Amino acid sequence: MEIEGGNTHRISKRTILFGIIPFIVIGAMIVLLLNFSGTLFPSSIKPLPEVSIEKVEFLGNDMIVAFVRNTGPSEVTVAQADVNDRIYPAAIEPGRTLTRLADAKVIIPFIWNAGEPYKIGITTEDGTRFEKSVDSAAAAPRPTVGQASTFALIGTYVGIIPVMMGLVWYPFIRRLSPNKYNFFLSLTAGLLVFLGIDALLESNEIAVDSLAPAFNAQILIIIVAIVTLTTLLYVSQRLIQRASKRTKTDIAVEYKKGSSGGSEPDFGTRDVKSSSNSAQQKLLIKPIAISMMISIGIGLHNFGEGLAIGAAVLLGEVALSSFLILGFTLHNTTEGLAIVAPMAKSRKIPVTRLIIMGLIAGGPTIIGAWIGGFLYSPIATIIFLSIGAGAIFQVVYSIGSWMYHTNGSRGLLNNHWIIMGFAAGMLIMYLTGLLV
């Protein structure tokens, strides 16, 4: 807006007209096609129906509820419901005819057995059957205080405690030599890259298993991740610019080395050249800003993780054992390390600030578990996991760029501490991930 501000002028009527003409043509075509489609493109073939069973809930001990959505190209009428391919009396609300993308609830009175796998099927008017498998039937969590506090406890164990534990490393990291510090910074980057890839794969899995092709969910994952990444890059640049105006001296001291980079033609040259112009030299990233961005990124990631945990409990895909929670705890402890590493070398950080960051990173797990457990929506889960992935990759970029500038002329990829740390970070995540 500001940029446009200089050359604002009234858009002439002719311009508006030229802008509108294509829409008029498109509108005419739509009218024509809708009214004369039968004569223009005669076709005797009815489009194939497509119904997705998005969620199956087991209630009480004698009811199964399937949430179905018409994800096909045309209206669909549901005729029958079955459990394990055996037809059962059922009801469908609000009604058996579903317009495109409309959803309905199929209620099947059925005495089910906890822990057993089930296949829930829907047969449409033309005799096509659609099926959804449930690995292990478990009573759907009801939004009671007891269940909510169980989820809160799980969220605390999986989100808040491990992040806080990671933060305890702060004094340790502060005392490290520059090389070892670089090792831990790149280790952080490795952890985050793992989390980002994990989030993308996880959302891809949900997209394939629970969402109909009509949603194009796999493309949505990539779009959301890219948009998040670019938006956060923009936001962080703006934040840093504003912050740098206020604490100029503080930064000037810290980034003396960074501004002199660019003389050595190594792997990082492209960035160096682009940053050599005067505007880009202001790209001096405040460590606390990085840590905060990491907290937010991990918070988003943990929100998605919470959604996934809650949903897994709801969908009966997982029996929550203490071993599983322990696995998540160990896995997520590294996230706290990721938060403290970038700011370890800057001025002393108040403990309250650390705790706030820990809560930002870990707290969303609880909210995620509530939403995932009580109001599961595969599309929302995918969107949040993708946002988390985009946020995490932005953080990785920030860490990389910060290390690059603080690392002076040595660059990134010819420092074996950085390479080792990066690999170690991903490996640690992989190994602790085996526990989950």
Binding site for another protein (CB under 8 A): 62-63, 67, 69, 77-82, 85-87, 89-96, 102-107, 109-111, 123, 125-129, 239, 243, 288-289, 292, 295-296, 299-300, 303, 307, 353, 356-357, 360, 363-364, 367, 371, 375-377, 379-380, 383-384, 387
When the beta carbons of 110 and 183 are compared against another protein, the nearer one is 110
Residue 15 host element (H or E): helix 13-40
Contacts of 21 (CB under 8 A, 6+ apart): none
Cα Rg, the chain, nearest whole Å? 27
Rounded Cα gap, residues 29 and 22, in angstroms: 11
When the beta carbons of 272 and 300 are compared against another protein, the nearer one is 300
Q: What are the φ and ψ backbone dihedral angles of 82, each rounded to 5 degrees?
A: -145, 160
Q: How far is the CB of 108 from another protein (least distance, A)?
A: 8
Q: How far is the CB of 67 from another protein (least distance, A)?
A: 7
- List Cα–Cα distances, 266 to 136, 278, 417, in angstroms: 54, 21, 17
Alpha helical stretches, state H, 168-286: 170-174, 178-210, 217-246, 248-254, 256-259, 269-274
Put the strands of the sheet holding 63-70 in their side by side order: 51-59, 63-70, 103-109
When the beta carbons of 48 and 435 are compared against another protein, the nearer one is 48
Q: How far is the CB of 240 from another protein (least distance, A)?
A: 11
Q: How far is the CB of 393 from another protein (least distance, A)?
A: 17
Q: How far is the CB of 418 from another protein (least distance, A)?
A: 26
User: From its phi and psi, is residue 229 left (phi > 0), alpha (psi between -120 and 50) or beta?
Assistant: alpha
Q: What's the maximum distance between 2 C-alpha atoms anywhere in the chain?
A: 79
Other CB atoms closer than 10 Å to residue 49's CB: what's the count? 21
When the beta carbons of 343 and 429 are compared against another protein, the nearer one is 343
Q: How far is the CB of 235 from another protein (least distance, A)?
A: 8
Residue 137 host element (H or E): none
When the beta carbons of 24 and 48 are compared against another protein, the nearer one is 48
Q: How far is the CB of 436 from another protein (least distance, A)?
A: 23
Q: What are the φ and ψ backbone dihedral angles of 265, each rounded to 5 degrees?
A: -80, 80
Q: Which amino acid is at 384?
A: F
When the beta carbons of 52 and 188 are compared against another protein, the nearer one is 52
When the beta carbons of 98 and 154 are compared against another protein, the nearer one is 98
When the beta carbons of 268 and 362 are compared against another protein, the nearer one is 362
Q: How far is the CB of 420 from another protein (least distance, A)?
A: 31
Contacts of 254 (CB under 8 A, 6+ apart): 284, 287, 346, 406
When the beta carbons of 130 and 417 are compared against another protein, the nearer one is 130
When the beta carbons of 80 and 182 are compared against another protein, the nearer one is 80
Q: How far is the CB of 136 from another protein (least distance, A)?
A: 22
Q: How far is the CB of 343 from another protein (least distance, A)?
A: 11
Rounded Cα gap, residues 112 and 323, in angstroms: 27
Closest CA to 341 of 187, 190, 203: 187
Q: How far is the CB of 127 from another protein (least distance, A)?
A: 2
Rounded Cα gap, residues 175 and 177, in angstroms: 7
When the beta carbons of 193 and 300 are compared against another protein, the nearer one is 300
When the beta carbons of 10 and 347 are compared against another protein, the nearer one is 347
| Beta pairing class for 76-83 and 86-88 | antiparallel
Q: How far is the CB of 218 from another protein (least distance, A)?
A: 18
Peptide bond into 141 cis (omega under 30): no
Contacts of 66 (CB under 8 A, 6+ apart): 53, 55, 56, 57, 81, 105, 106, 108, 120, 122, 132
Rounded Cα gap, residues 399 and 394, in angstroms: 9
